[in-house]
């Protein structure tokens, strides 16, 4: 465990302590894992009301310049050129072996301004990777810059009532018309913010990038509404697992590719012929030939929940894969997990077993998300 003195602190650190948070080391930061309520209670609250998360450990950054789109597309698998201004998408940064360096939300603010949020735990390697390719791009005469927003915080405000709490604080902005994946520069309670309709809980919600100096005041303002509560990383992990969303370092790493991870959809259709991004030659071959393993959801029998590293066995007891994330679902009231198995066993409904600390439990592959997700999209 990192020495407390070496951990970075977000702008809300003192506020977290005042609010009774239990702090833990996470991605090089001291972060709240939970507050007075249990992780189960906090998970259910986010699914029914509004929860405020400090996610300032994540790396907010921008790629800017006349060649911003072209440079971004050299690094990620998505079709960034096709995005309308003010919209974004989940994408993947890949290495030369076709493995995933990081998963990221890429937003095309304008043709010359790409806003990218990267995982905090990957910050050092992401910056090294981007800067190495940036040097090559500049040597070729490309007009592009990479900027890290070290003066900003990032809040996630999630849940079905988040929009009701936020709307009165955004005069002149109709949040009903800000659909999932959309971005706008806005004023919230008089403070300039970058507002994105996104999140990692499976619920409707927003990510709010703002100056560190404004963060405590806005957090307090949002929490004045009785529907809103602070929420820690413990419940955030339960929420993203229920929503079938990957956690980098658990479900994704630099030896896992997009196709086996079930993230083929992130590869822009217009880019699949050329695959002109880092590792594209490997991924193009996998698109044509297939892969040997697949990420699957699992519903696990009673007993201790499966955890990352638990073995996945077939019905005869042969090892066929590994759990990468697992836990008890507060909403479903049962144990759930995700992991990788042989492709032949990936079909939903396949009976398997999970072995955790020498004890076996029944398991069955299940479609993800495990719960119904609620993203704000235009009416049909």
Main-chain dihedrals φ then ψ at residue 248, nearest 5 degrees: -65, 135
Cα distance between residue 84 and residue 111, in whole Å = 9
Burial class (CB in 10 A: 0-12, 13-18, 19+), 378: exposed
Which candidate, 234, 200, 212, 216, places its Cα nearest to that of 24? 234
Q: Which uninterrupted H or E stretch holds 295?
A: strand 293-300
Q: Which uninterrupted H or E stretch holds 155?
A: strand 152-158
207 marked ligand binding residue: yes
Angle, vertex CA 22, rays to CA 7 and CA 219, nearest 5: 85
Residues 6+ apart with CB under 8 A from 356: 303, 304, 305, 306, 307, 310
Cα distance between residue 31 and residue 327, in whole Å = 20
Residues 6+ apart with CB under 8 A from 169: 188, 189, 221, 222
| Helices first, then strands: H and E counts in the chain | 8, 19
Residues that constitute the known binding site for substrate: 207
Residues that constitute the known binding site: 207
């Amino acid at each position: 465990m990192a020495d407390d003195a070496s951990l970075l602190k977000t702008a809300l650190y003192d506020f977290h302590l005042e609010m009774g948070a239990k702090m833990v080391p996470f991605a090089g930061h001291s972060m709240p894992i939970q507050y007075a309520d249990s992780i189960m209670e906090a998970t259910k609250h986010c699914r029914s009301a509004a929860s405020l998360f400090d996610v300032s450990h994540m790396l907010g950054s921008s790629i800017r310049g006349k060649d911003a789109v072209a440079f971004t597309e050299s690094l990620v698998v998505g079709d960034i050129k096709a995005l309308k201004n003010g919209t974004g998408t989940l994408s993947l940064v890949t290495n030369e072996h076709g493995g995933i360096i990081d998963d990221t939300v890429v937003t095309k603010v304008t043709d010359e301004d790409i806003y990218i949020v990267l995982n905090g735990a990957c910050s050092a390697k992401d910056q090294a990777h981007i800067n190495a390719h940036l040097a090559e791009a500049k040597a070729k005469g490309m007009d592009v810059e990479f900027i890290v927003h070290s003066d900003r915080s990032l809040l996630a405000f999630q849940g079905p009532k988040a929009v009701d709490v936020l709307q009165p604080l955004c005069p002149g902005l109709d949040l009903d018309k800000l659909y999932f994946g959309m971005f706008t520069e806005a004023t919230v309670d008089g403070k300039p913010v970058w507002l994105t309709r996104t999140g990692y809980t499976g619920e409707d919600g927003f990510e709010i990038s703002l100056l560190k100096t404004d963060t405590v005041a806005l957090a307090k303002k949002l929490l004045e509404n009785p529907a809103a509560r602070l929420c820690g990383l413990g419940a955030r992990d339960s929420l993203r697992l229920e929503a079938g969303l990957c956690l980098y370092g658990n479900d994704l790493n630099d030896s896992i590719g997009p196709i086996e991870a079930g993230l083929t959809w992130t590869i822009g259709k217009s880019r699949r012929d050329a695959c002109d991004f880092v590792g594209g030659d490997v991924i193009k071959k996998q698109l044509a030939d297939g892969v040997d393993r697949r990420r699957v959801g699992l519903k696990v029998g009673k007993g201790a929940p499966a955890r990352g590293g638990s073995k996945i066995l077939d019905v005869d007891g042969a090892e066929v894969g590994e759990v990468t994330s697992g836990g008890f679902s507060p909403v479903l009231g049962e144990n759930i997990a995700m992991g990788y198995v042989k492709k032949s066993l990936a079909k939903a409904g396949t009976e398997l077993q999970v072995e955790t600390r020498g004890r076996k439990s029944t398991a069955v592959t299940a479609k993800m998300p495990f719960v119904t997700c609620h993203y704000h999209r235009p009416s049909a």
